[in-house]
């Protein structure tokens, strides 16, 4: 695929040609009319109308295959404080195991966002201020975009993971980066034969402290790595990083020259790398190679979407080109593999644009279906009395499909208060917009050791399989599966119905999907439902499983603090 720098108008034309314009139109399909005396079915909506995304840091979840734990010579550390940045063993097989056990279905999850699966730098760099060995276990330090990192498994393992998820109606999203590759660490430089190292580093007992003393930063042999045409790197023979968002070097990482119109050839290290699938492409830019490499995962495995990292640091036209090609790639996969797809929905893309809030983002015109909402985590003061929050988010989510993805905890910020996960989970799973569940919020996974100068590492602890909080898990499962049945929670009209207990309705007019939720009361309660449900209808509280009949515009029932009212299927009204 060729990909010279394009104008905005040309990119939009490309999007339309790739079928993307249709992908952005909301689905307005009406729910089937019920038979006389029957309640309408719950309406989960298309994925774009009701995304419930589970973000799992693959390496920290389940170790399904211990034989791959030390790929490329990677090692763990004995002291937990020293071990925060190593590879811990989680892999594709572990994820597939949990899929087969029903872990994600029981949470109502309809998409699994996994960390980037392609090969990362082999070794480590100094973490924090020389506090720990920091490897690329998180997937943000790519070495080769065309092959699977051996710590995560094999091609067969990845195919099994995607196919198992698809069989359950769960989409798979890859975390991807177009802004930068990874550092040239000592081990990778040795493995790639980039001759910029001084002797003795492998025997130095104080290597963490002396790390940079073993690299010759004046060597023009750095050109054997990515090279000047590909990245800004501030090294001999390279262009220095710029001073704006699009050209700066984030955390001193090499910055891909995705805006360059120049055609490039493969870097020397990739030409000579024995296991790479990368090949020279005629008349292709840096952006073109990255788009080709990333969308090949879609063509090969049927990946359903991307979560795009550091969006503000790459020109919008690059994201638009990635989306347009990914739409075509997924359509090709589905045409060739009709039994391995979930449905015919188009490729979906969500972005991490640092600081983005719940409003519809300007980059939706450059390929993004949604943006991660950084504001939600900061709204925790409103979670106990959420009407203002819900009303405001419902107004912001006036357009469909969903354009914001709310989260409670994040690997890049902090974990939500572990003692308030019932309250926080209630707000997250009932809020308008889309949902992003960070692994372990449903089990009260505790923080890991916290380096003094890199606090985010504490958010990435191993999944707490041996000490799951049963009360938190049960709560999240009830709300998650309820949400999965009702797209009205994501995109419906919000209306407060009562104060004591706090009660609201969400109604999605086109489909007829409707729910009533009451919060903050225990024991016998009378919940107002007038204008949403009719007298004589039989309703079910999805939280307790109890049923009740509407009388005089109200439902009387026994509650455990949360009431989730929906129609009972097959009952007369």
Catalytic residue numbers read 309, 352
User: Alpha-carbon distance 130 to 210, whole Å?
Assistant: 9
373 neighbors 404 (Cβ within 8 angstroms): yes
Which sign does the torsion angle of CA 461, 465, 466, 467 carry? Answer: positive
Number of H helices, E strands in the chain: 13, 20
User: Alpha-carbon distance 542 to 370, whole Å?
Assistant: 29
Which residue stretches of 176-249 are H helix? 186-192, 207-210
3-state SS assignment for residue 500 = coil
Supply angle C-alpha 296, 298, 299, rounded to 5: 65
Supply angle C-alpha 376, 406, 468, rounded to 5: 100
- Burial class from Cβ neighbours inside 10 Å (0-12, 13-18, 19+) for residue 413 reads middle
Q: How many CB atoms lie within 10 A of CB 344?
A: 10
User: Alpha-carbon distance 352 to 334, whole Å?
Assistant: 27
Rg of the chain (C-alpha set): 25
Angle in degrees, 0-180, between the axes of helices 316-336 and 286-301, rounded to the nearest 10: 30
Strand partners, 539: 548, 567
> SS3 for 283-305, per residue?
CCCHHHHHHHHHHHHHHHHCCCE
Q: What kind and span of H or E run contains 538?
A: strand 538-541
Find, among 458, 460, 465, the residue nearest to 442 by Cα.
465
Supply the DSSP string of 230-265, one letter for each residue: TEE-SSTTSBPP-SSTTT--GGG--EE-TT------
User: Alpha-carbon distance 19 to 14, whole Å?
Assistant: 9
Find, among 392, 391, 378, 390, the residue nearest to 430 by Cα.
390
Query: Which residues, other chains included, contact 425 with Cβ-Cβ below 8 Å and sequence gap of 6+?
Result: 408, 441, 442, 472, 475, 476, 479
User: Alpha-carbon distance 20 to 35, whole Å?
Assistant: 36
């Amino acid at each position: 695929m060729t990909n010279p720098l394009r104008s905005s108008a040309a990119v939009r034309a490309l999007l339309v040609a790739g079928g993307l314009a249709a992908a952005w139109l909301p689905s307005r399909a009406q729910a089937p009319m019920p038979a006389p005396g029957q309640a309408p079915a719950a309406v989960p909506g298309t994925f774009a109308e009701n995304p419930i995304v589970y973000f799992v840091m693959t390496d920290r979840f389940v170790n399904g295959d211990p034989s791959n734990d030390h790929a490329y010579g990677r090692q763990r550390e004995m002291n937990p404080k020293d071990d925060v940045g190593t590879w811990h063993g989680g892999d594709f097989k572990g994820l597939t195991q949990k899929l087969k056990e029903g872990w994600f279905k029981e949470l109502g999850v309809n998409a699994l966002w996994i960390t980037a699966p392609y090969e990362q730098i082999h070794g480590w760099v100094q973490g924090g201020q020389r506090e720990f060995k920091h490897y690329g276990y998180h997937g943000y330090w790519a070495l080769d975009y065309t092959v699977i990192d051996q710590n995560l498994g094999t091609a067969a393992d990845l195919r099994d993971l995607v196919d198992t998820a698809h069989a359950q109606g769960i989409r798979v999203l890859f975390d991807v980066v177009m802004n930068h590759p990874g550092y040239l660490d000592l081990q990778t430089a040795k493995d790639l034969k980039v001759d910029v190292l001084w002797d003795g580093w492998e025997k130095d007992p104080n290597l963490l402290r002396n790390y940079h003393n073993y690299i010759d930063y004046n060597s023009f042999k750095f050109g054997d790595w990515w090279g000047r045409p590909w990245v800004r790197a501030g090294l001999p023979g390279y262009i220095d990083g710029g001073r704006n968002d699009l050209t700066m070097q984030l955390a001193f990482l090499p910055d891909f020259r995705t805006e360059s119109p120049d055609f490039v050839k493969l870097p020397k290290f990739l030409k000579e790398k024995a296991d790479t699938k990368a090949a020279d492409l005629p008349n292709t830019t840096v952006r073109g190679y990255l788009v080709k490499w990333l969308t090949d995962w879609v063509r090969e495995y049927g990946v359903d979407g991307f979560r795009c990292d550091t969006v503000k640091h790459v020109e919008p036209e690059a994201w638009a080109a990635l989306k347009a090609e990914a739409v075509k790639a997924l359509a090709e996969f589905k045409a060739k593999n009709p039994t391995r797809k979930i449905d015919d929905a188009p490729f979906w893309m969500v972005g991490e644009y640092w600081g983005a809030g719940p409003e519809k983002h300007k980059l939706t015109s450059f390929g993004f279906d949604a943006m991660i909402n950084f504001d939600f985590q900061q709204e925790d003061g409103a979670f106990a009395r959420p009407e203002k929050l819900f009303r405001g988010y419902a107004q912001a989510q006036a357009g469909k499909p969903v354009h914001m993805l709310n989260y409670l905890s994040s690997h890049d910020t902090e974990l939500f208060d572990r003692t308030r996960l019932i309250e926080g989970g209630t707000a997250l799973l009932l809020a308008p917009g889309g949902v992003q569940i960070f692994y372990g919020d449903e089990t009260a996974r505790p923080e890991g050791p916290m380096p003094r100068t890199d606090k985010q590492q504490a958010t990435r602890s191993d999944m707490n399989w041996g000490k799951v909080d049963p009360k938190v898990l049960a709560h999240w499962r009830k709300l998650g599966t309820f949400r999965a049945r009702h797209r009205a929670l994501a995109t419906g009209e919000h209306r407060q119905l009562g104060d004591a207990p706090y009660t609201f309705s969400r109604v999605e007019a086109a489909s007829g999907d409707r729910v009533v939720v009451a919060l903050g009361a225990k024991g016998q309660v009378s919940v107002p439902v007038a204008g949403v449900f009719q007298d004589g209808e039989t309703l079910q509280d999805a939280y307790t499983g109890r049923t009740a009949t509407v009388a005089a515009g109200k439902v009387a029932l026994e509650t455990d603090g949360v009431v989730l009212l929906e129609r009972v299927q097959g009952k007369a009204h």
